[in-house]
Structure 1
Amino acid sequence: MPAPAPQDRTRVLVIEDDDTIGRHLETGLRGSGYSCTWCRTGASGLAQIGNNPQDVVLLDLGLPDTDGIDIARQLRSRFPDLLIVILTARSDEIDVIAGLDAGADDYLVKPFSLTVLLARLRAHLRRRPTGTPPDETPIRLGDLTVDPAARRCLIAGNEIALRPKEFELLTALAQHAGTAVSRETLMAQVWDENWFGPTKTLDVTMASLRRRLHEAAASSPVPPRLPAITTLRGHGYRLDLADQD
């Protein structure tokens, strides 16, 4: 049976020093219709993507020549639209947050299933932006403005930088401001409607979003009026409206 067509032009760079994992990923990705290149060091990975543009990078953190976090930062800075998925044995939440803050879109803790990795890649690739809907109007909640069409977030008129999933998560909450939104709804809207993996990704992304909003508010000369993200244990989250004058 021929390999599936939807991914046949998707270029994946694997940066992984473990021979067993690297070969397994390379074989599995090519067998699923992806174009795959495997590098064993951070330096060779950066050189490869510099000469041959890629759509996806699967990045190990424990590389022999450098920390994968530094590679993630460089990749995100040089290639804003690149899909970066971290593959790591580091399972502590602080490590996950560091990886996402460095620019990764997702992470998988080793050992992981190739089937789950492929499912996550399909989910991310389906949700890659292909155009901006013309009817998405800005949402203003106190001094917070979320502009889905322009993919901009402003606090008291000053733009703050959010990672793609952080912005999409804030947009999902803003579109239902004042209403409880379940974890399942957020996972379906921000990640994928067929998502079947753990929802820790949501928790980590939410924590990072809250931190970015807090830091932006703290740096403002005048304390801005911002909606609060309330955790509803056992259900999900609610964006509580800021007082409106």
Structure 2
Amino acid sequence: MATAFALPHTDPAVRTATALDVDFSNVSRTFTAKKESRTVLRDVNLHINAGEVVAILGASGCGKSTLLRSVSGLDAPSTGIVSTGPREVNGINELCAVAFQEPRLLPWRSVRENIALGLAPKTDPTAGTALINELLELTDLTHAADLRHREISGGMAQRVSLARALARRPGVLLLDEPFGALDALTRLKMQDLLLSIHASFPTTVLMVTHDVDEALNLADRIVVLGRNADAAGATVIEDLTITASHPRSHNAELFAVHRAHLLSLLGVDPAKH
């Protein structure tokens, strides 16, 4: 088991974000190019409760990232409505923050300066500095605050990416394969970090992953997208609630049952994995 990150003492005056519900109502997405259409999502109906950690699983190309982008406003559904809290998403959604598989740091800026890029416009300088210091402590980056991208490891860069996203104090944190490029040990440490972040910052987490074990380790719910044989586009084929407390044991019987079920839904023989 990887070592858990310590939680700092948080100041409510500095960190005032409120986790938000996320709703998908009859969401479909069709892409058209060269007079050809391809439907990737079809009639997705899903309610995510404020403060939940929800993992999205599915085969490559089934629309997982497209669904995530529709929450951020980086993409829009062809039909249907996406909402965060009481607001329908219509354009870039400032209530969300996104962390991608690639950290996407600016190489000429320090760790502290990269995190500062996530601050909301017109943030009070004193409050902004306090929040950045809190995030540096939470992500165990205080010692590296003045280093550049080339001077830190891949795992540290991903921590910077998460801290930058949280600097906006988002109601919804969107993670698109955030640990996919990391080695196995660093990935476990980052999973522990995410749980620490979620305990410290009140936000809803919606995470795309291809890793069933990662989803089972982190999520309150696991949503599986898949296609029916007689229909174009993926829809929700499973919405599984995970009630086990953290930390979770991979040797637990229920963990193994859920794992086998999810692998089967993804077209993988559990006996071989």
TM-score by length of 2: 0.29
Q: In proportion to residue count, which structure has more helix?
A: 1
TM-score by length of 1: 0.31
Q: Which has the higher contact order (CA 8 A, sep 6+)?
A: 2
